[in-house]
Chain A
Amino acid sequence: MTDWVLACATDDIDEEDLIRFDHEDKTYAIYNTDNGFFATAGYCTHEVQHLEDGLVIGNVIECPLHQGRFEISSGKALSAPVCEDLVSYPVKVEGDQIYIQIV
């Protein structure tokens, strides 16, 4: 069972930035990059720190606590101290609304 959940409006996220989105008992990060909108799990996989205040550089999100880096579009861990990939979620944009598909 998968659901498309309304996360936010497209203009809620600045260019090359992200916002936090909480839904039920989980938290997510929604990104606006030059390559489009993406969604991943909200917490860094290294030590528990939300990515919402992290730095977006192109297609990379850098954790605000230890500067571990992930590829936004795939969730792939790019450099220490992060070693475990982020879970990423499908995104669709309808009008000016962003939806993420939550399993």
Chain B
Amino acid sequence: MTDYQATNAASSGISVPKKNLKALMRRSDKPGLIWLAQWAAFLLITGYGVYLSIGTVWHWPAMFLYGIFLTVPSYALSHECAHGSAFRTRGLNEALLWISSLLYYEEPNHRRFAHARHHTYTWIEGKDAQMPFATPMNFKGWLLEITGWALYVYETRLFIRNALGKFDAEVLDYTPASELGKLKWGARICLAVYASLFGMALAGIMWPLWFVIIPRLLGAPVMLLFTLIQHVEMQENDVNICKSTRSFTSNWLGRFLYMNMNFHIEHHLYPMVPFHQLENLNAEIKDQIPQPDPGFIRTNLEVLQVVWRRSMGGSTRAASIRQAPHMINTPDLQEMS
């Protein structure tokens, strides 16, 4: 029936009793609305800090802090709404998909189709539509990724081409022909919104700069450090999610900002399980999957060490995080042998 195998629990040899899975998949508005209220509270508090700091030396640090709370949850909410699992009410999902994707900087319809393809072919080169960097990663690749430069170049080009109706071959491959019009008009609406924000700033109306544009740019590296460690240093071209994907431990703040996507193996195995049930899914399958890597900061520090040493020609063996075997190069040991 198929000439390929979708990357998920079945392809990874993981199973959950159907009754238990049904309970985990159940949709609800309540957890998403609570999360949304908490996000609004964080934005109000840190945004008030931005307001108070205008004209002082604290303005940029305040925008950075506010930017983290603006940018990381925007990415996470856009992702969850693209899955349609953030809320039981579809209209709420769709409205927040638009708002959060605008903040994240991706056209919402494209976000949904490209991410669907990412789940079909997770970390399969040439097929995964969200495999943004060359792998194995070197330091230059890390810089391009973490600064947001790679994202801005890729998405800006895509916004313009899609708005003109000149779709890339890969976009045509993962988007049904009947939906291309939505991509085109979605891109036009997004560009109009972005142009309005920049136009207001140019006209001397500063709130878009202080509360949207600059915080979004400042918060991007933190968001991208979260997304980087989902798959970096893991195995490409393997249908086993446990080999291609990384979960990592996190404190409550990281889990809030990232909507529990630190349970990333769990998410890829069962993408229909909503964010608020991922911890329970982990409890259900933890004996079948690898241990999570040791935290957001430590995992990122080890990744940075590895990509730096790779660029310098040194050993690329990480201290503790999981790596695909071919990512590990130990030149000193090779010379000794």
Residues of chain A touching chain B, judged by Cβ–Cβ distance below 8 Å, are 14, 17, 27, 43, 46-49, 53-55, 57, 62, 64-67, 69, 79-81, 83-84
Contacts and interface: CB of A to CB of B under 8 A. Distances in A.
A69 B84 contact: yes
Interface residues of B, number: 31
Contacts of A65: 6, 8, 116, 119-120, 271
The majority secondary structure among interface residues of chain B is helix
B116 A55 contact: no
Interface string B117-131: 101100000000000
Interface of B: 1-2, 4, 6, 8, 18-19, 21-22, 25-27, 83-85, 88, 90, 109, 112-113, 116-117, 119-120, 176, 178-179, 182, 270-272
Contacts of B178: 83
19 contacts: A14-B19, A46-B176, A47-B116, A47-B120, A48-B2, A55-B25, A57-B27, A57-B88, A65-B6, A65-B120, A65-B271, A66-B83, A67-B84, A69-B84, A79-B84, A81-B112, A81-B113, A81-B179, A83-B178
Contacts of A55: 22, 25-27, 272
B179 A48 contact: no
B152 to A, nearest CB: 25
A54 B26 CA distance: 11
A62 B272 contact: yes
A66 B272 CA distance: 8
A54 B25 CA distance: 9
A70 B272 CA distance: 15
Contacts of A49: 6
Given A48-B6, A81-B179, 12 more contacts: A53-B21, A55-B26, A64-B271, A66-B116, A67-B84, A67-B85, A69-B84, A79-B84, A80-B113, A81-B112, A81-B113, A84-B176
Give the 9 A-B CB pairs with smallest separation, nearest first.
A66-B116, A48-B2, A67-B84, A83-B176, A55-B25, A81-B116, A83-B178, A64-B272, A67-B83
A25 B27 CA distance: 34
A66 B176 contact: no
Contacts of A14: 19, 22
B22 A17 contact: yes
Nearest to B85: A67
A66 B119 contact: yes
B7 to A, nearest CB: 9
B261 to A, nearest CB: 16
Nearest to A63: B272
A47 B6 contact: yes
Given A47-B120, A80-B109, A67 B6 contact: no
Contacts of B85: 67
